[in-house]
Amino acid sequence: MTAALALLFDFGLAALVLIVATWTLMTRETAAAAVGFVAYGLLLTLVWVRLAAPDVALTEAAIGSGVTGTLLLGAAARLRSTEAAAEAEQPGRAMRFVVALLCASVSAGIAGAILMLPDPAPTLAPQAMAALPSTGLGNAVTAVLLSYRAIDTLLETVVLVLALLGVWSLAPDRVWGGHPGPLISSNQERVLTFLAQLLPPFGILVAIHLFWIGADAPGGKFQAATILAAMWILAQRAGLVDAPPVSRRWLRLVVVAGPAVFLAVGFFGSATAGAFLAYPEGYAKPLIIAIEAALLPSLAAALALLVAGPPARTESR
């Protein structure tokens, strides 16, 4: 009975994911498609929960749906003036056919690869669990992210800094180094001010909780940083705090500090443990915590600044 119900739920969920994905692709209006993308991300979060991958589910909800959705909505708002022209542009029939063919063959290739996986699927999970005691961690996902495949995580955090540089470089010369986003005076929107005063204490508490339990349970710096970034953005949008000018040295230091500490620990590993990003015997957990603690403010600042956008004005509040 329970198994049948679960199967019914899973089929319904899979169908819903496909329907929302198709709708998002077919929608011509950019803002509506961005909203569809957020709904799609939340459905994917449920899929990850059903696949017993709460770590991925948290990341999908926070980064995949939350931050990316906000970025897409911001982009849609910026593109509104050119929207009519873009919609009027219809690619030719042959072009559309080629695109559809290419997309369909990529989908068929991925589906084929997944369907042809040997049963049981190849997995490194037993080895990952077996090596867990050497890292001092209790959560295998954190061990993969910060020990076995730390280099991937290092590159990911560097990519975020590069993405921020890319966004900043979109600023026109006359406002370079200025504040990102529009000038928002406080008390413009009382309800928003109330929410922005009430929510951050809870948000910061939840973020620290997520960060700290990440060693032994689902959670970690990325999800925690997203919540911190969201709280900062909320306070900015309500006009309670002004986004700092991007030329501020402290701001740049905060953004770079996390990846820099990560790199330093990596070189420390080459000197003491014989390989880049290797942790000396018995020091794995403190070093991992040091990296995560350094990354938390960097990631939060980088994500919030990505959402805030390129520098747009030189006047302060």
Partner 1 sequence: MTLALDILTVVAVSAGAFFFLAGTVGLLRFPDSLSRLHALTKADNLGLGLIVLGLLPRAGGVLGALKLIAVWAIAQFASAAVTQLLARAARTAEPPA
- Judged by CB, which is closer to partner 1: 60, or 292? 60
Query: What number of chain residues touch partner 1 (CB under 8 A)?
Result: 8
- Judged by CB, which is closer to partner 1: 11, or 194? 194
Q: HSE (CB half, 13 Å, CA atoms) of 5?
A: 2
Taking CB under 8 A as the rule, does residue 6 contact partner 1? Answer: no
Burial class (CB in 10 A: 0-12, 13-18, 19+), 110: exposed
Taking CB under 8 A as the rule, does residue 20 contact partner 1? Answer: no
Taking CB under 8 A as the rule, does residue 243 contact partner 1? Answer: no
Burial class (CB in 10 A: 0-12, 13-18, 19+), 126: exposed
Query: In 3-state terms, what secondary structure has residue 278?
Result: coil
Taking CB under 8 A as the rule, does residue 289 contact partner 1? Answer: no
The contact pattern for partner 1, residues 199-238, with x = CB under 8 A and - = no contact, is: x--x------------------------------------
Nearest to 50 by CA among 81, 92, 7: 7
Q: How far is the CB of 35 from partner 1 (least distance, A)?
A: 12
Radius of gyration of the chain (CA): 22
Q: How far is the CB of 230 from partner 1 (least distance, A)?
A: 11
How many CB atoms neighbour CB 19 within 10 A? 12
Q: List the alpha helices (DSSP H) in the chain.
A: 2-26, 30-50, 54-59, 68-88, 93-115, 125-130, 132-135, 140-143, 150-168, 190-213, 221-237, 249-272, 284-308
Taking CB under 8 A as the rule, does residue 9 contact partner 1? Answer: no
DSSP letter at 146 equals I
In the numeric block, the tokens 């230091």 are attached to 253
Taking CB under 8 A as the rule, does residue 255 contact partner 1? Answer: no
Q: How far is the CB of 98 from partner 1 (least distance, A)?
A: 37
Give, as ranges, the residues between 177 and 206 that touch partner 1 (CB under 8 A): 189, 191-192, 194-195, 198-199, 202
- Judged by CB, which is closer to partner 1: 199, or 273? 199
The structure tokens listed for 270 are: 């080459």
For CA atoms 307, 310, 312, 316, the dihedral sign is positive
Q: How far is the CB of 195 from partner 1 (least distance, A)?
A: 4
Q: How far is the CB of 200 from partner 1 (least distance, A)?
A: 12
- Judged by CB, which is closer to partner 1: 194, or 267? 194
Taking CB under 8 A as the rule, does residue 260 contact partner 1? Answer: no
Alpha-carbon span 146 to 125, nearest angstrom: 16
Q: How far is the CB of 198 from partner 1 (least distance, A)?
A: 6
Q: How far is the CB of 101 from partner 1 (least distance, A)?
A: 36
Taking CB under 8 A as the rule, does residue 271 contact partner 1? Answer: no
The binding site for partner 1 (CB under 8 A) comprises: 189, 191-192, 194-195, 198-199, 202
